Structure 1
Amino acid sequence: MSSIVRMAVGDKIPDDPAANAAMHQGLLDILNAEAGRVGWSGISFDLYTSAKGWAAITAVPGEKPATLEDLRAFREWQKNRLDADNGDHTDQGRLI
């Protein structure tokens, strides 16, 4: 028997800040809806990435549906982790 263990979704990053937030919310809406469809209680973030004007979110099963604030907190945690590892995240894009 197989099951879904990870989901990813992405979209083009708009220039307008309000449209940028709406685009990220749309990605979360897709992930949260699919999580419910496959029987997950919610999502946790595995990776946020952006390159060449596109953003992508990868999620794994979580305890509750994710919000923009959850995504912002994850993105900050991810940046700090990359900094601690001396990673280069200069092309990680801007998040909402």
Structure 2
Amino acid sequence: MRKDLNDARDLHGQAESAAAVWKGHVMDRRKKALTDYKKLRAFFAEEEGRFLQEAEKEEGSLDDEDEDPAERFRSLLQAVSELERRHRNLGLSMLLQ
């Protein structure tokens, strides 16, 4: 009977240890995910600001309406696709770390 009680205590201690290790592992993963999320958000905010500045510059230079609307749309589409490619590359590199 006493041996069973000691075995149960040992098993309980091992379970508590395993739970503490698992909790630490989960908390580390959460912290890393939150850090990566904050980095991505900061990057997106910075890129959005840069994109808006470039769009304002282009808009200012295109006020004379000499350029074809299709050409303006094409350059805007190129800027958006470039921004999307950068974001995708950053996201993939962070996921692979």
More strand as a share of residues: 1
Name the one with the larger helix percent: 2
Question: Which TM-score applies when normalising by structure 1?
Answer: 0.33
